[in-house]
Every structure is written in C-alpha cells, then in structure tokens.
C-alpha cells in the first residue's frame, strides 16, 4: 500500500513542478518517470506505466480523482514495453527484460496480464509462460519459444486476443503463426494461420479475422498476401508497389487501404478493390512520404495521415468518424505539435492524448468531451519548461549541384554580442529509411544549452522524400552524402546563421561514419569530429554484425553499398586516417551488434599507427548507442568538454 501512496504524491508533484525552472541540464537525460497512460473502455480507470528507482510498475488510477487504486510491480529486471486494455478489468503487457550484461532492455516476446485490482497477474505467453503450472486442466498454459506480438485485441471478445508468434532464431527470419490466446489463463485456444513470408505483419478485418499479411523475403523485397478460401494468395507487384504497407480494410470489407509508391516516387495512400483488384491513389503529398497514420483505438480504421515537409501537418481522411472530429479539434488546440490519441472510452466521452513538439518532450492530457475540459495528466520532463528549450527551425537550401535539400537549424546564443555561436553538424543515422524530423531532441537541446548551434541535414539517401531521393545515396555514402552535409553548413555561413571555420561534425551510427569520413574529406572545414557507434570499415559490414546475418540484410548491403572491393575501400575512412588533421572523439558500446566494436578498434589502431590524437569513450554493457542515462550524461559531458576545447 505504501508504494502506491508514494506514487500518487509523485503524480501530484508533476502537475505542480511543471512550472519550475530547469537549472540542472544533466537531468535532461533521465528516463521519464511516467511513461504512458491509457484509459479503460468504460472510462473508470487509467493505466499508467511508471518507472521509478529502477523498477517498472503499472499503476491503476481512478480517472475522476487520479488517485491510485492498485498496481502491479513487475518482478526482477522486467519492464513495460507496450500495454493494452483488453476489457474493463484487465490489461495485457508486452514485456522487455534488462539483462545483466546489457544496459538496454530487450524484448523476448513475453506477454503478461493483470487485473485492475492487482489480482490474477500471470505470464500468458512466452518462454517462461508454462512455469510453475498446477492443477489438471484439459488444456494447460505452455511455454512458447517465440516472440509474441498483439495483432488484434478483439474488443468483441473479452477473454481472447490474437497474437503473432515468431519462433525464436538468431535472425528473426522464421515464419510467424497467429494464435488465439486466452488473456486470463494463457491457454492457446487455437492456431489461426501461419505466415507464408518472414518478418510478418498481419492485418485483420472489422470482425477480427486475419485477412492480409505483409513481410520481407530473402531479397529484401516486400510481399503482400491476401487470405482467400483458406489459403494465402500472393498479390504480385504489377498490382501493388514494391514497398506496400497494408493499413486497414474498410467497413464494407471491399477495399484495402495501403501506404505505397505504386508507379510513383512518393509514398501515399492507396485503395485496393478486393473484388477486381483495381488499385487507386487516394492521396500523395508533392514532396514527402506519409510519415504516420492515425488509427482508431481498436486499430481497425484510419482517420488521418501526417506528412513532414518541415513542420508536421495532418490531413483528415474520414471526416465522418467521431474520432476524426475530435482529432481535428485537438489539432486546433495544439498547433505546431505532434498529436496522438493513445486511447479512448467505448462511449467516446474520454480521450487520452499525447502531445509533443520541438520544445515539449511530451505531455499527456485527459480530454473530457462531456464537460469540454482538458486536464494535463503529466509531462515527460517536468523539471523543464518550454522556455528552457530552443525552437527548431526547418530550413531549405541549394546543394552544390543545384538540388534542393532540407534540414533543421537550432540557434544557440553566442557568448559575445554580435557574434555567432559555434556550430555542431549533427548527422542522423541510417542512412536509408531514416531522416530528421521537427521534434524534441535531447542531444540538440543539451548542445544548444551549452552554447552550440546545431544543424541537421536530410541528405540524399535519407528516407521520407521518395524512392529516388533515397536511391541517390546508394553507393555514395562517402561522397555525395558528405557533400550534401557540407553544403548545409556552407548555406548557414552564407546566410549569417553560422560562423565560417567554427564547426564540428558529430553523429551516431551512420552519423559517426559521416563524422570520420568528412574529417578525411574536408580537413580544412571541420575543426573536430565526434563519432559514436560508427562503422568505419565498409568491408567489415559484410563479415560482422546483425545485418549481414540475415539473407535480407546481405541483399540490402549489396544493394546500397555494392560489392566492388576498391569502392568499399575507397569509402572506408579507416583506410585514410593520414588525411585527418583534426581532434577526434570516439565512443562505442562493446555489446554493439549493429556496428560491432571491431569497427572502433580498427579505427583506433589506424589512428595509433599514424600517431593521430583522439579521445576514447567506451562502455562495456552498452549496445548500439547509449541507453543508460548515466552513460548518456557522461558521454555528453565529455562531448561538451571536447567542443569547448576545440571550438572558439
């Protein structure tokens, strides 16, 4: 009882402290104490995910008083990943586990369920679900060595949900099966259907029947199948596009809506007639792909789409849906923000809404349509206020070859009047399928708070701007991509937003590669380079790491890098460290599987051989990037100290 009383006090503290002034910037790296909130179908309770003092808890609050009524503390090193109300009294939680040898929690596909009074807490699916079973049932709950993922909560069935179970393997390429699972007993009622393709994502219709599956084959190609007459039928790519993503089936069951780039460059919304297989474009932006789709809370219909050509913008698709009407009003209340509905009541009276922006790390609100009121539940970083953060400016600029590119610039205050603050070019990872967005960034705000302006460039090769834009970065990692990034900085200088010759380049993953590669290409431009979790020897990518372990991963590497040995060597900065004339800060996690630690070791050996100076920041239990707030804080402190030493 004491633990829940303490949490109520903390919840109240958040509402009060939101107006306080942030003095300690180190606190920006702390994990949010309150992770999420979702309301029950009847509106009587809120399920709040809480992380405090190293423990994860799901607390149930009275939605009117916001007082805790009970909760369920997860045992050991378990954490809450996602969770779902499956009826008015029970929540199913997708778990993550903090292994002793790794800082970042890992999902093993386990599902746990608990009632609002804290009773009947049970592991209902996963490799430990069958432990300690007693009694003599006709069907018993069994351990399943597979990753479980919820497909449909089946709101019309209070006792069962549909999940996909992918047998455990090193690469995750095995074929998933849809199971109907009892949320109270964990007993598998029946096996529904098996996927014909790896990396499966299943789609149900309005009655909760599995109708479609999409996955990725060994050649890294997207495959879409429809369920007809008890069999899977492949929908060939002369009907749909090569990157099709099914969204939902309309209420009539006649049309499948998708995100696709069929016979066009930009990804938009399409509609497939399931009777005659005619495929029709519904909406496509002129510049950018669809970023996100707002689905109804039962995940069976879509009512709005988001695009990001600079600031986020939304288009309401189905204005007749009540959720769409509410969402439209929310967009008016929160302009220049990212808005998502996390849950709503069955009668549509209460909504829980998540809002964030460039100066808001995230806030959750309770909307009461009956009383026309909006109550802030909590915010993710309550010790900060919006005025503490710097606004992020979308920019567009012309590259050296005349192409138009875009990015974001966050201006810091200079130490001296009439001077420009030094600049950090912060390069995003990927590089393909990933891009920078107008959003809150802990790294950006921390750098700005310490006197450094930040430039982020969506270079050619980035995702989000169409297939052709992304392909322009293929086999050009070490050339065109780095030139695009440099062009962004030179545009800042030309427009008097940044000083010439007072810049450092920094990034993680591919961004780390860019930092070191650019230091070899432009030794007279950047005054220093900071690289975290980078790849520095492109040939090594075909030999080590989790990408090359999968058939689809090898196909991807061959597609974006090619197999020409000389070209790979030529784009690998580990081979050209003699050209580096600036200080380097190298950071890496020893447990990194995406960019194995050997990349950093090879680069360090090359730097040592050429007697180049560098700083070294390595953490033994971290993977691809730093997860532990203490490690993030220590790393960024070293980054700022490094910048203070090498920039004016």
Over residues 229-288, the pLDDT tens digits come to 899 999 988 899 988 999 999 989 999 999 999 999 999 999 999 999 999 999 999 999
Termini Cα distance of the chain: 55
Classify domain 390-646 by CATH number. Answer: 3.40.50.1820
Rounded Cα–Cα distance for residues 29 and 628 (Å): 9
Nearest to 161 by CA among 128, 184, 134: 184
> Which pLDDT does position 514 carry in this prediction?
97
Per the model's pLDDT, the better-predicted residue between 148 and 52 turns out to be 148
413-417, 458-462, 467-471: least confident range: 413-417
Q: How many CA atoms lie within 13 A of 339 on its CB side?
A: 23
Confidence check: pLDDT of 624 > 80? yes
Phi, psi of 614 (to 5 degrees): -160, 160
Collapsed DSSP state (helix, strand, coil) of residue 608: helix
Over residues 472-527, the pLDDT tens digits come to 999 999 999 999 999 999 999 999 999 999 999 999 999 999 999 999 999 999 99
Per the model's pLDDT, the better-predicted residue between 85 and 556 turns out to be 85
Global confidence as pTM: 0.90
Rounded Cα–Cα distance for residues 383 and 362 (Å): 13
Confidence check: pLDDT of 471 > 90? yes
Strand order in the sheet with 311-316: 290-295, 302-309, 311-316
Residue 517 backbone zone (phi > 0: left; psi -120 to 50: alpha; other: beta): alpha
To the nearest 10°, the Cα dihedral for 331, 335, 336, 337? -50
Q: What residue ranges do the domains of the chain occupy? A: 390-646
CB 491 within 8 A of CB 397: yes
Across the range 314-327, mean pLDDT stands at: 92
């Amino acid at each position: 009882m004491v633990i829940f009383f303490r949490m109520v006090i903390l919840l109240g503290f958040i509402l009060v402290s939101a107006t306080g002034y942030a003095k300690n910037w180190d606190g920006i790296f702390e994990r949010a104490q309150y992770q999420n909130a979702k309301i029950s179908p009847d509106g009587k309770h809120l399920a709040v995910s809480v992380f405090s003092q190293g423990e994860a808890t799901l607390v149930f609050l009275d939605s009117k008083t916001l007082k805790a009524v009970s909760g369920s503390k997860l045992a050991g090193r378990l954490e809450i990943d996602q969770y779902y109300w499956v009826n008015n009294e029970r929540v199913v939680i997708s778990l993550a586990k903090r292994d002793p040898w790794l800082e970042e929690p890992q999902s093993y596909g386990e599902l746990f369920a608990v009632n609002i009074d804290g009773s009947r807490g049970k592991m209902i699916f996963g490799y430990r679900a069958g432990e300690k079973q007693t009694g003599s049932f006709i069907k018993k709950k069994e351990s399943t060595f597979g990753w479980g993922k919820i497909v449909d909560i089946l709101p019309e069935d209070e006792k069962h949900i549909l999940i996909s179970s992918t047998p455990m393997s090193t690469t995750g390429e095995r074929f998933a099966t849809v199971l109907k699972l009892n949320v109270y007993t964990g007993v598998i009622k029946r096996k529904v259907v098996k996927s014909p393709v790896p990396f499966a994502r299943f789609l149900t219709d309005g009655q909760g029947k599995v109708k479609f599956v999409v996955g990725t084959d060994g050649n890294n190609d997207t495959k879409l199948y429809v369920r007809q007459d008890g069999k899977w039928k492949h929908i060939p790519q002369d009907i749909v596009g090569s990157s099709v993503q099914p969204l939902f089936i309309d209420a009539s069951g006649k049309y499948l809506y998708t995100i696709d780039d069929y016979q066009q460059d930009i990804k938009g919304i399409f509609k497939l007639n399931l009777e005659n297989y005619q495929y029709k474009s519904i909406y496509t932006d002129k510049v950018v792909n669809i970023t996100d789709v707002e689905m109804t809370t039962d995940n069976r219909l879509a009512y709005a789409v988001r695009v990001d050509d600079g600031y986020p913008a939304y288009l309401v698709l189905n204005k007749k849906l009540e959720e769409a009407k509410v969402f439209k009003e929310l967009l008016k209340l929160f302009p220049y923000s990212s808005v998502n509905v996390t849950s709503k009541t069955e009668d549509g009276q209460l909504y829980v809404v998540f809002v964030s922006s460039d100066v808001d790390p995230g806030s959750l609100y309770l909307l009461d349509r009956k009383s026309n009121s909006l109550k802030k539940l909590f915010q993710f970083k309550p010790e900060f206020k919006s005025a503490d953060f710097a606004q992020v400016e979308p920019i567009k600029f012309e590259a050296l070859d005349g192409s138009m590119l875009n990015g974001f610039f966050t201006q810091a205050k200079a130490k001296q009047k009439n001077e420009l603050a030094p600049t950090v070019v912060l390069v995003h990872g990927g590089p393909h399928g990933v891009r920078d967005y107008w959003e809150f960034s802990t790294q950006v705000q921390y750098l700005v708070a310490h006197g450094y302006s930040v430039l982020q460039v969506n270079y050619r090769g980035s995702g989000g701007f169409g297939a052709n834009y992304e392909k322009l970065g293929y086999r050009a990692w070490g050339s065109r991509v780095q030139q695009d990034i440099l062009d962004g900085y030179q545009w800042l200088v030309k427009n008097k937003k940044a000083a010439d010759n007072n810049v450092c380049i920094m990034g993680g993953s591919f961004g780390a590669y860019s930092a070191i590669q650019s230091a070899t290409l432009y030794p007279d431009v950047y005054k220093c380079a900071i690289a975290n979790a980078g790849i520095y020897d492109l040939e090594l990518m075909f030999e080590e790491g989790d990408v090359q372990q999968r058939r689809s991963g090898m196909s991807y590497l061959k597609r974006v890098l090619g197999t020409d040995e000389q070209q790979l060597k030529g784009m690998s900065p580990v081979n050209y460290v003699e050209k580096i004339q600036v200080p380097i800060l190298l950071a890496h996690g020893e447990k990194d599987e995406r960019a194995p630690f050997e990349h950093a070791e090879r680069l360090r050996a090359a730097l040592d051989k050429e007697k180049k100076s560098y700083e070294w920041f390595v953490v033994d239990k971290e993977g691809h990037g730093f997860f532990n707030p203490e490690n993030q804080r220590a790393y960024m402190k070293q980054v700022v100290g490094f910048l203070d030493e090498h920039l004016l």
